[in-house]
Structure 1
Amino acid sequence: MKSYRLEPGRGLAGLTVHDQDEPEPGRGQVVVKIRANSIGSRDLLVLADNYVLPIRPKVVPGCEGAGEVVAVGEDVSRVKTGDRVAATVFPRWLDGPFRRENAAQLGTMIDGVLTEYAVLDEGGVVPVPEHLSFEEAAALPLAAVTAWNALTTGSALHPGATVLTLGSGAVSLFVLRFAKLAGARVLVTTSNAAKAERLRALGADEVINYRENPGWAEEVRALTDGLGVDRVVDATGPLEQSLKSVAPGGEVAFAGYWLSGTEGTTPIDPATLFMAGATLRRVATGSRAHFLELNRAVETHRLRPVIDQVFPFEQVPDAFKYCESGGGFGKVIISHT
């Protein structure tokens, strides 16, 4: 079998392919033949060793993968050989709040899924919805679970609520789809007219061009009769604008401070935080329980993720270069078939 390995901090130069024997499962483990992966901004940060979590040298990168169980170890009861499964990003985070002891993440602290065969704990995989291909299923573990957690944890999201999601990246696309299912009015920020049209086609009620409107919080207020939105899902920053966009008593789900560049590290004026009168909640992807809830919604509504480009497993470096170029819309997928 072949696996990619990573020397953090060297970028693509640190990404190499290694040959090794196919693995055997231990007690409570399963071997998954990976059929598809997904990569994105998070993976670029890992390559650069600029990620929020520590990265082990020579780790197998990649936290998003789907495939077929080909072997099970002793005492495995949740899955069986032949099951189609997706990996959870935090395999030890089964339910409840995020805790430090559950922080081991695929592709950083422990081996990930950019490999032909992966050994995973049985609790670290979830079933793949029947109507999804492996390529579509691989788009869910990071961005979709983050979006689901941002919308469903904390205060309830009622029909008629207003939701603002920042940017047209993968998290925001899932937020848009899920929030519309909940009956919300959804506002989205983006960088150009072409992406704005695609966002409207997916159901966005209002689209704000943040390049033309750097102080876009004022436009959010204008579009909500001065009230602000009930929830902001902030995966890009700047956080200050999110706090100025939220209604008193609302919530900002902060999902990506390390993606915000210099804006993400700018100190927030305490007066801005106080005047927002809202809850600021950190979102660190989600648990296995979040993923299972998400899957039920995806199955019920026959949802399919937005896929941008598909690359073969042998061309993973090209896929990373495409991600670096920016301008995509939807998930970048690695196919093993």
Structure 2
Amino acid sequence: MSDLPKTTNQYVLKSQKGFESLEIEKDVQIPEVGDYECLVQIQAVSINYRDLVISKGQYPFPVKLPVVPCSDGAGNILAIGKKVTEFEVGDKVCTLFNQLHQAGPINMRIMASGLGGAIDGTLRQYAVFPEHGLVAAPTNISPTEAGTLSCAPLTAWNALYGLESKGLKPGQTVLTQGTGGVSIAAVQFAVAAGANVIATTSSDEKCEMLKKLGAKRTINYKTTPNWGEVAKSISPDKEGVDHVVEIGGPNTMEQSMKAIKPEGVITVIGFVGGAGAEKQPSTLDTLTHMCTVRGVLVGSKAQFQDMNRAIDAGNIHPVVDKTFDFEQAQEAYQYQWDQKHVGKVVIQLGRLQ
């Protein structure tokens, strides 16, 4: 089709010296659409903590340089290959974080298909993706909101439902940490499922925001450093919480262990509190607390589709804190790094419909 774009503007991370390593490349040739591929006009890209630490050389997984950054994207399909069966031109889609993670357990091959790290990501105006690397967007939300789903909400969904034998059930209690994208999504999904939420955060103002999202109880961890013990004491049966969405890492794991009930699940999804700590639990603590501790790397396409059905059914809207223009990517990175956000930070590209 002659009216399709032939080139794209895109950001490229050529080194890992900080946010100044983000450079715009203009008029980059768009590859031909293969039989099983789709050309997508990317309308919104959200930033994750992962993107920030990749640019600073602090990401613990392999990164290919130079790389187009970011994993999260939403947009319109402009063209499809002749053997594509799942999508049509005009469909609204989201990108899959690990392009090869279709269903089931993760493996090393899948981990080598992460957008914005191992392979080129979403911070560009147009891109060609394989059919299996896209997911139909929920119908109830805007492109800006859909652009937040690929990493943080899907990680939260996996944390709550990924371990099938211990998936979240109505009436159970979930403990979340902070007001970043994963934590807020976990609050929303847990509330929609009929669970009780105890949410920790750093200020009384943020406590009020979390209550508006449906958290039954909130704890200011700045003024209550023993928040794990407090969470256990205010859980419905005072035995502890069923799920902890652990985003802090080594510096918060001790309190998470104190909060969890026997046979509960702590899902480790990040290390925003730092990668090291003077004192942190050992593997023996999983025995003394009789709990399951699991790490997750986002989620599969099948889980993404399940999550999107829940978003549609419950009319759940991701929380977007602030949007930036395409040319303001470095500013958007810095804004999130300074932890000024509550929810997701989004970079908008092109015309939103």
Q: Distance in 1 between matches of 2:194 and 2:95?
A: 29
Q: Distance in 1 between matches of 2:278 and 2:316?
A: 35
Q: Distance in 1 between matches of 2:50 and 2:15?
A: 13
Work out whether 1:5 is the aligned partner of 2:18.
Answer: no
Shift of 1:190: 0.3
**Residue in 2 that maps onto 1:129:** 138
| 1:231 aligns with one of 231, 240, 243 | 243
1:321 alignment partner, SS class: helix
1:293 alignment partner, SS class: helix
Q: Distance in 1 between matches of 2:174 and 2:72?
A: 26
State the one-letter code of the partner of 2:308.
N
Work out whether 1:76 is the aligned partner of 2:84.
Answer: yes
State the one-letter code of the partner of 1:12.
F
Q: Distance in 2 between matches of 1:265 and 1:306?
A: 34
Contact 2:174 2:196 in 1 (8 A): yes
| 1:29 aligns with one of 2, 24, 37 | 37
**Residue in 1 that maps onto 2:125:** 116
Aligned length: 336
Contact 1:49 1:55 in 2 (8 A): no
Cα deviation digits, residues 38-63 of structure 1 (max 9, x gap) = 01312111111211221111110010
Shift of 1:18: 0.6
Q: TM-score, normalised by structure 2?
A: 0.92
Contact 2:30 2:128 in 1 (8 A): no
**Residue in 2 that maps onto 1:94:** 102
State the one-letter code of the partner of 1:62.
C
Shift of 1:147: 0.6
**Residue in 1 that maps onto 2:228:** 217
Structure 1 unaligned blocks of 5 or more: none
Of 26-35 and 136-145, more deviation after overlay is shown by: 26-35
Shift of 1:318: 1.3
| 2:254 aligns with one of 240, 243, 253 | 240
Q: Distance in 2 between matches of 1:229 and 1:335?
A: 38
Work out whether 1:156 is the aligned partner of 2:167.
Answer: yes
Q: Distance in 2 between matches of 1:265 and 1:71?
A: 53
Contact 1:66 1:137 in 2 (8 A): yes
State the one-letter code of the partner of 2:17.
R
Work out whether 1:252 is the aligned partner of 2:266.
Answer: yes
Percent identity reads 37
Of 264-273 and 92-101, more deviation after overlay is shown by: 264-273
Cα deviation digits, residues 120-179 of structure 1 (max 9, x gap) = 110010111122111010011111100111111221322111111111111010100110
State the one-letter code of the partner of 1:308.
D
Give the direction of change, closer, same or farther, for the CA distance of 1:207–1:262 in structure 2 (3 Å limit).
same
Shift of 1:267: 4.8
Work out whether 1:105 is the aligned partner of 2:114.
Answer: yes
Of 182-191 and 261-270, more deviation after overlay is shown by: 261-270
Give the direction of change, closer, same or farther, for the CA distance of 1:35–1:199 in structure 2 (3 Å limit).
same
| 2:288 aligns with one of 245, 259, 275 | 275
Give the direction of change, closer, same or farther, for the CA distance of 1:223–1:115 in structure 2 (3 Å limit).
same
Shift of 1:226: 3.6
Contact 1:244 1:272 in 2 (8 A): no
| 1:43 aligns with one of 47, 51, 76 | 51
Contact 2:243 2:266 in 1 (8 A): yes
Contact 2:145 2:318 in 1 (8 A): yes
Shift of 1:37: 0.5
Q: Distance in 1 between matches of 2:312 and 2:278?
A: 38
1:146 alignment partner, SS class: helix
C-alpha root-mean-square deviation of aligned residues, in Å?
Answer: 1.5
